[in-house]
Structure 1
């Protein structure tokens, strides 16, 4: 177990989850008060690892440190898969074994929608999903991108970015991999998302020509 930094008051941590008295061990959101500014950092990650209202994990602590340095007042952790697991392989297994997947998937999307739209002018959004095989991960990411589309926010690719990974899977690398959180903090890659509902088309737009060859990626939503 990993302790939260000493400046975090765990009594003010908000968590939306199941699993206290059931086999369905899911977490839909984790809200942590940092103190300081009015801006809010929303982090969209792969799946919950270990963080609860009592104990943190390394990835969450990394983002807490980043948020404090950037003087965010609050950090919210959301996930593509709401199931607790320690890596992509265990996430795949746990998700496949989860009962009532449709219920949890819908609830997770609803929580994401509510969080990103609440006082959206105060939000900065980090996208750092990684990828999980065998769970229709691309489809789940596309549904989330629809929610993120057309917001006046910046979506940031964390970790080392790879054009083929982004183009083929529509996903960003996860910051916890190989200890590369510094890549995110020192040289984040920025992109925006448009969604044309009438044509059911998502467009991932990037202007970072130094790191990518493409201007945008069109996805059939």
Structure 2
């Protein structure tokens, strides 16, 4: 655990979580007021590491600084897996060991849907999800993409790495896998999400062809 930056008023931090006195230690959202412009930055990451109302972690602090530099009013941290874990291996184990996974999965998706739907014209989304094997991770991410596709959000930002756009088919690179954060954010690209409910097909399309392009990725059921 690390301290939040001095310019963050921790009294205004909002957190939605369970597990304070149980083994089911989950966090569904973390909302931090920055005090910039009118827009909010929504970061969809892999899983919570250690950040609470009182203490942050390195990944959260990196994105706070990113949001501050971009003049956002607030930043909201969401995750594909809501379980607290410190690395990929523990995320896989902790999720597999979690009781009532269906409940936590549904609640996590509900929170994500509510947050990205609220005043969606003010939302910018960054995906830095990484990939966790053994937990049906792609299926969970697919459901999040479907939720995003319902809204007025024009495009989603991710970050290119190792000459690739995605680490696993359509899983965005995670900052902790790329070392220095400033290097990680140097290669942003944007994509749009389309969902054909009749065919249950999801398609990611490049929307930033000035810098990077990638072939359309069609994700079938």
* TM-score (normalised: structure 1): 0.93
Matched residue, 1:100: 100
Deviation at residue 107 of structure 1 after TM alignment: 0.1
Consecutive unaligned residues in structure 2, runs of 5 or more: none
Deviation at residue 184 of structure 1 after TM alignment: 4.5
Deviation at residue 161 of structure 1 after TM alignment: 6.0
1:218 aligns with 2:218: yes
Distance 2:166 2:2 in 1: 31
Distance 1:180 1:127 in 2: 17
Deviations for 1:87-139, whole angstroms, at most 9, x for unmatched residues? 11110000000000000000000000000000101000001100000000010
Contact 1:163 1:212 (C-alpha < 8 Å) held by counterparts: no
Contact 1:159 1:175 (C-alpha < 8 Å) held by counterparts: no
Contact 2:201 2:218 (C-alpha < 8 Å) held by counterparts: yes
Contact 2:161 2:178 (C-alpha < 8 Å) held by counterparts: no
Q: Secondary structure at the match of 2:218?
A: strand
Root-mean-square deviation (Å): 1.7
Distance 1:161 1:143 in 2: 26
Deviations for 1:14-47, whole angstroms, at most 9, x for unmatched residues? 0000111111000000000001211000000000
- Across the two proteins, how many residue pairs are aligned to each other? 219
Deviation at residue 189 of structure 1 after TM alignment: 1.1
Matched residue, 1:41: 41
Q: 1:160 to 1:56 in 2, by over 3 A?
A: same
Consecutive unaligned residues in structure 1, runs of 5 or more: none
Deviation at residue 68 of structure 1 after TM alignment: 0.6
Matched residue, 2:54: 54
Q: Secondary structure at the match of 1:102?
A: helix
Q: Secondary structure at the match of 2:109?
A: helix
Matched residue, 1:83: 83
Deviation at residue 158 of structure 1 after TM alignment: 2.5
1:129 aligns with 2:126: no
Q: Secondary structure at the match of 2:134?
A: coil
Distance 2:152 2:217 in 1: 19
Q: 1:213 to 1:11 in 2, by over 3 A?
A: closer
Deviation at residue 74 of structure 1 after TM alignment: 0.4
Deviation at residue 159 of structure 1 after TM alignment: 5.0
Distance 1:184 1:150 in 2: 29
Contact 1:39 1:74 (C-alpha < 8 Å) held by counterparts: yes
Q: Secondary structure at the match of 1:156?
A: strand
1:70 aligns with 2:95: no
